Amino acid sequence: MSNKEGSGGFRKRKHDNFPHNQRREGKDVNSSSPVMLAFKSFQQELDARHDKYERLVKLSRDITVESKRTIFLLHRITSAPDMEEILTESESKLDGVRQKILQVAQELSGEDMHQFHRAVTTGLQEYVEAVTFQHFIKTRSLISMDDINKQLVFTTEDTGKENKTARGRRLQDPVPPAVLNERIGESPSRESENRRLDRDHFSA
């Protein structure tokens, strides 16, 4: 007998050593068992969390794009004949960005924000830069973190739901101090390089 035949014969004999009812046991899984029900519950929870994470990533991208467009608009203020017109348009754009942040707040309502921090940080950073730049043009001073967060307090009326007693709703620490420090403390050389790389793609 060849080695090949011997090996095959061994595998066949090994397979036959197990009774047929034991081989079928793995196929007859009770889908209503407590263990299976627990796994299904975990699966649904993970799927819901992943879906929420993807929605937040998309919102963060939209916030990033609109914030960059606002910054590029504000850069035109030195050559624009009407400074107030540029500031009014930039405020309108930032209001639109804040509506996106409201959607983020709704997604994070009742959630641990730290679990989704990476999904929204990029958008918040760019929004902080846009608001800081606009505030500096208006006042020649830097905006504080408290002032930024005050603009991100949303009432139940903002959600479009009828409620006679409008209560303030805000993200818990919507803009962490590290985000503010990173954007305001960005070096001019790095900022110029970022502008050069992003201008063609994000300019309106």
Which residues participate in the annotated binding site for Mg(2+)?
129
Q: How many C-beta atoms surround the C-beta of residue 56 within 10 A?
A: 21
Report whether 170 contacts 154 (CB < 8 A): yes
Distance CA(146)–CA(115), nearest Å, equals: 23
Report whether 105 contacts 154 (CB < 8 A): yes
Question: Which residues participate in the annotated binding site?
Answer: 129
